[in-house]
Structure 1
Amino acid sequence: MTAPERYGESVLSPEWHGERERLVAMAEVADATTIRILQDLGLGPDWDCLEVGAGAGTIAAWLAGQVPDGSVLATDIDTRWLRAIGVPALHVTEHDIVLDPLPESAFDLVHARFVLEHLPERDAVLAKLCRSLRPGGLLVIESIASFPIASGGTPAFRDAMHAIESTLAATIGTDARWPRTFPAPLLAHGLTGVSASVHVPATGGRNASARCWSHTLAQLRPRILEHMPRARPAVDEALRLLDRPEFFELAFATAVCWGRKPTSP
């Protein structure tokens, strides 16, 4: 069943006053892992790249610096922060990955971070991304995964993270358990050389992860309380904990999966 709302409309909206800061903190947590994986997988200087849901644009800008003889197409449903980057080889366009077409067999690399898990149509989108790859092209997807939360030793923080998961599922159709199936989705679409890894950063000490989840909780708090009124004490305590330099816990993981389009049928 399709969720009644879409990411970015009223849930995790760019109109929220702290959304850019939230995305920048998220990038600070995730970029090093993304860059290492793309480098390890052999990113080439002449590759044509597609960055889906580019957000604040940190990876799109980095990619543009790595492909002097190629190109980077950065897409998002809202490109307000991407258009200010202005680096060579980077092209920006507003694009809804669910509704809008993509050229087929056009890209050497397709990268999507924190996108597919938020889309009820994720399998159809994944098929579209695979079709957009050239033979031998590389697909890398990264998604938030909720499985570390269950082992958390701080009840209020654990409950607040579960409230985020539940509210995103109820409002926009997020499935933070889907990444636990990696790499099966890529295998199902016929990709080869498929593998996966997981990054679980510590959240606390007012680090980037703590700032990211503090912004996320603050923005989602009204929707959480609509959906789960009894979660108010946990959410408010988690916000206090995230502002304490001595607090550390595990929040969501980043699950990463990659594979290549076969060079022959």
Structure 2
Amino acid sequence: MIAMTVPERYGQSVLSPDWHRERERLIAMAEVADRTTTRVLHELGLCPDWHCLEIGAGAGTVATWLAGQVTDGSVLATDIDTRWLEPTTAPNLSVSQHDVVFDPLPESAFDLIHARFVLEHLPERDTVIAKLCRSLRPGGLLVIESIASFPVDSSATPAFRDAMRAIESTLAATIGTDSAWSRTFPAPLQQHGLAQVSASVHIPATGGRNASAQCWSHTLTQLRPRIADHTPEALPAVDETLRLLDVPDFFDFAFATAICWGRNPELGSPASND
């Protein structure tokens, strides 16, 4: 697979941790997504002695939750920028600055690897999945969550639809985000030989000044200058959507979260999707 060449990478200036309200954006995102993440991980069967890797840990909410579940194991939380992960108080939670594209990972080291809202932003995603699979122990579990654009086009609010499209096209042009990639789930895990693969989708309501509305408001505000560069015709829709997101009785559906998972086959066991 040939990686697409893009002008920059996530976090350099697009969705940058240097933006003055980035932590608020990440916390709002966690409030929207954590309940689904923790439910899926719990249902997949966490064990207290597991060693876990959290890729792109952001504000650290999932890593902290995992540390409370694997009390006899460990959690390694990584990100390209760890400022929101320090300090950590859980004795079994450690933090490391790490770029999953360029930096190595130990092989056969983890019982669980989880990455949320990471791989869709990486043109090298297929190579990264291969690296993550090698880092799983036999029987280890890989869980990937990604934004999915397919609710957007059915929006009954033209400004909201066009603003979400502007986010999608601007991220694609600047850092190579592919918000349609998750529509292929769980095929990316099947293609790398994982077993017991499956997928699900969560679509939270955005509006009523809820956490999803706050998250998209922060995202639009941070991206507005880049949208002006790439799709200036979308600015009226962006500004109208920012207004709507602060209206108590406005609701719509933005991007969904698509989740897929699979297990590294046990040694000597054939792959199976049962």
| TM-score between the two structures when normalised by the length of structure 1 | 0.99
Matches within 5 A, 1:237-256: 237-256=240-259
The aligned residue for residue 84 of structure 1 is 87
The aligned residue for residue 185 of structure 1 is 188
Letter paired with 1:217: L
Between the two proteins, the alignment pairs up a number of residues equal to 265
Q: Secondary structure at the match of 1:147?
A: coil
Q: Does 1:236 align with 2:239?
A: yes
Matches within 5 A, 1:144-155: 144-155=147-158
CA shift for structure 1 position 136: 0.2
The aligned residue for residue 103 of structure 1 is 106
Query: Could you tell me how far apart the structure 1 residues matched to 2:255 and 2:34 are?
Result: 16
Q: Secondary structure at the match of 2:58?
A: coil
Q: Secondary structure at the match of 1:137?
A: strand
Matches within 5 A, 1:153-232: 153-232=156-235
Letter paired with 2:89: G
Q: Which runs of 4+ in 1 moved over 2 A?
A: none
1:205-260 CA-to-partner distances (Å, cap 9, x unmatched) read 00000000000000000000100111110000000000000100000000000000
Query: Could you tell me how far apart the structure 1 residues matched to 2:247 and 2:139 are?
Result: 47
Q: Does 1:19 align with 2:15?
A: no
Matches within 5 A, 1:132-143: 132-143=135-146
Letter paired with 1:98: V
Query: Could you tell me how far apart the structure 2 residues matched to 1:215 and 1:178 are?
Result: 24
The aligned residue for residue 3 of structure 1 is 6
Letter paired with 1:234: A
The aligned residue for residue 70 of structure 2 is 67
CA shift for structure 1 position 88: 1.6
Contact residue 88 and residue 94 of structure 2 kept, 8 A: no
Query: Could you tell me how far apart the structure 2 residues matched to 1:68 and 1:50 are?
Result: 14
CA shift for structure 1 position 6: 0.4
Letter paired with 2:109: A
1:143-190 CA-to-partner distances (Å, cap 9, x unmatched) read 000000011000000000000000000000000000000000000000
Letter paired with 2:62: I
Letter paired with 2:115: A
CA shift for structure 1 position 264: 2.3
Query: Could you tell me how far apart the structure 2 residues matched to 1:36 and 1:194 are?
Result: 17
Letter paired with 2:195: T
Letter paired with 1:112: A
Query: Could you tell me how far apart the structure 2 residues matched to 1:264 and 1:190 are?
Result: 13
Query: Could you tell me how far apart the structure 2 residues matched to 1:153 and 1:124 are?
Result: 38
CA shift for structure 1 position 85: 2.7
CA RMSD of superposed structures (Å): 0.6
CA shift for structure 1 position 86: 2.1
